[in-house]
Amino acid sequence: MNSAQTNAAQTNAAQKSGIRDRLENILARLEARADREHVFSKVYAEKARAEADAADARHRAGGALGPLDGRIVSIKDLFDVAGEPTLAGSVVRRDAPPAARDAVIVGRLRDAGAIIVGKTHMTEFAFTPVGLNPHYGEPGNAIDPSRVPGGSSSGAAVSVAEGTSEIGIGSDTGGSVRIPAALNGLVGFKPTARRVPLAGAFPLAPSLDSVGPLTKTVADAVLTDAVMAGEEPVLPDPLPLRGLRVALPKGYLLADMEPEVAGHFEATVALLEKAGASIADLEVDDLIARLRDATRVGSIAGIEASHIHASTWLGDPDANVDVRVKGPLSLRVKVPAETYREIMATRAALVREMDERLGGFDMVATPATPIVAPTLASVNRDEAEYDRVEGLLLRDTQVGNQFDLCSITLPMPGMKLPTGFMLSARGGTDKRLLAAALSVEELLESESKSDMRARKW
């Protein structure tokens, strides 16, 4: 039995052990800390109980709806839930009208039997990757609460890593699924943009936005992605590692790694090569530099976000919005429309060039982040340090959004504080990437077990 089959069997066993019991354990934990809750912005206790009872009944009757039936899921608070305002991490949306209907992905998850336990906190308007929110506070990293959780899907990641949900749903515009997943020791998947519908999701930058799962296993990421994409949730056969063509983008994307990250990344690449993968260098620095030159007046995300907010709070100098959001967007809204169109034309050409260069490879390997999670104190007391950390956290992940790739991060084995081993591939090859990730996960889990045995002795 391979790793994916084992994980699926464990999931089925867990579901049959009592969905309502699992839910009650989570709700008890959340109730005990209700006065200091920074992971969830809203908990749907009674509705979740009813959904859990219905799922238990289906399982007892042998009529489960599928592999997500009875799984406990948290939703980032930029997805609409019928009857609730969508805050998107901001106090300026407290008076927003309640959503008329669930976001498409929320409806699909419910139809698959998933139990929506609550909405999770996030950085304001999903704009920053560190995980801080001056209005609602931020959850500490699940591995070490004195450290940043990563963002913008901060609560989603911590909920899964700490066990107050089994699957978290986030959004990813420059790394907002993969960064917090990596820093909390999880799997995080960014599908190709447009694979999963954005209807009912509060936008950051529509050209770059993606919806993805944060999970403890690749199998859960595969199944959740399929449900949200409107496909049959079936695990593919893992792609053999022997003969897999893996590119290493020597240069910018592999520079300035912290020593522990560099050492474990190189060891992980060596494991892949030992398992039969073919490793070769890839030149992409020139493409990245050309996009950077084209966006010196403002990032695509910043320009698009500024126009989303231009008619609401952005014109109000007294709006109670995080200065790390308000400042950049106030500048980007001034970028002329013609300049934006030129940027997007340049990006389209670079996306085509990147696609051509990746044609000879199955995937590209980089660290998800070149650093582990810094302390909350360090980024709170020093704005220059915050800016340095923000740039490093976004550096590798944002390439996937800018060049229209699909991308997944898996925990790197053996690290004291986690970050991820990230695999990215050409846009539209999501299923093949996920099939490869199942095999890579099994390899890394075997290495983790070997490492544990070695340490024991």
The C-alpha atoms of residue 393 and residue 253 are separated, in whole angstroms, by: 11
* Of residues 284, 291, 448, the one with CA closest to residue 364: 284
Paired strand residues for 40:
120
| Dist CA 241 CA 331 (whole Å) | 47
Cis bond upstream, residue 450 (ω within 30): no
Q: Could you give the C-alpha distances from 119 to 113, 163, 372, in angstroms and in order?
A: 17, 15, 26
The partner residues of 248 in beta bridges, in order of sequence, read 281
Helices (H) and strands (E) in the chain, counts: 15, 11
Q: Quote the distance between the C-alpha of residue 431 and its chain's center.
A: 17
Within 122-233, residue ranges assigned H as helices are 154-162, 178-183, 218-228
Q: Which residues are the active-site residues?
A: 76, 152, 176
Q: How far apart are CA 152 and CA 131, in angstroms?
A: 6
Position of tokens 């959740």? 224
Written as six digits, the tokens of 324 are 């790390």
- CB of 369 closer than 8 Å to CB of 392: yes
Answer for the pair 439, 240: CB distance below 8 angstroms, yes or no.
yes
